[in-house]
Structure 1
């Protein structure tokens, strides 16, 4: 995996579920904004325009659907939204890998940084979804 470097941004004390949800809402929104801002200044060419469109759609979908999952009315609704979050997060990682591995001229270190964040988010969301399925 290109972005496989786990990061613990929560310190040594484990937050409550509610605190963790709030942190993840902020984190997914911040990651989407960081990606949008990066892509805003990343240059223009046909290939980058396609990737930019796909990345903005998938990254903002991660944040929006996680937010919706936090407001779910049932466990089934939460699980369905989390499935979308995992899918969109994985798609974001995919497009960042394409951007990183292609010859498109962008700041590759920034792509790696953003990619690590989305890979970490993907691990968190996939684990939460898997844990919910086993209960």
Structure 2
């Protein structure tokens, strides 16, 4: 069910999850921040997990559902990153790079989701006519 574009988002989300785990370790060990870091870890690693689940979706609607969850998790991750920056747990340099990656992944997921929904709607229209 995956198209080539999804391989990009799959790889980017996995690499992003690795960075999130390392940021989580940094926040725990260096900044002694545990609560926000745990929230970031959960949402940041869930993005790739949902994309992986979508690879074996049972239907087009299941695929769309999994990507919708990935989109929500990516958006939540952006929130936690912004909060960590605003509360000075991350400096500008630490924040910018991973934040930009999160936004890129969010845009990719949103694009895939829109395309999938449009294809699904088009298929429904041709099937009903």
Equivalent residue in structure 1 for 2:9, among 16, 21, 24: 24
What residue in structure 1 maps to residue 127 of structure 2?
none
Q: Is residue 134 of structure 1 aligned with residue 118 of structure 2?
A: yes
Which structure has the highest helix share of the two?
A: 2
- Any idea what SS the aligned residue of 2:34 has? helix
Gaps of 5+ in 2: 120-129
Q: How far, CA to CA, are the matches of 1:130 and 1:18 in structure 2?
A: 14
Equivalent residue in structure 2 for 1:36, among 5, 21, 24: 21
Q: Is residue 57 of structure 1 aligned with residue 42 of structure 2?
A: yes
Q: TM-score, normalization: structure 1?
A: 0.77
Q: Is the 8 A contact 2:24 2:38 kept in 1?
A: no
Q: Is the 8 A contact 1:54 1:95 kept in 2?
A: yes
Q: How far, CA to CA, are the matches of 1:100 and 1:107 in structure 2?
A: 6
Higher RCO (CA < 8 A, seq sep 6+): 1
Measured after TM superposition, the shift of residue 107 of structure 1 is: 4.1
Q: How far, CA to CA, are the matches of 1:38 and 1:96 in structure 2?
A: 10
Gaps of 5+ in 1: 1-16
Question: What is the root-mean-square deviation of aligned Cα atoms in Å?
Answer: 1.6
Q: Is residue 124 of structure 1 aligned with residue 108 of structure 2?
A: yes
Q: Is residue 108 of structure 1 aligned with residue 92 of structure 2?
A: yes
Measured after TM superposition, the shift of residue 116 of structure 1 is: 0.5
Q: How far, CA to CA, are the matches of 2:109 and 2:7 in structure 1?
A: 14
Q: TM-score, normalization: structure 2?
A: 0.81
> Larger Cα Rg: Structure 1 or Structure 2?
2
Moved over 4 A (4+): none
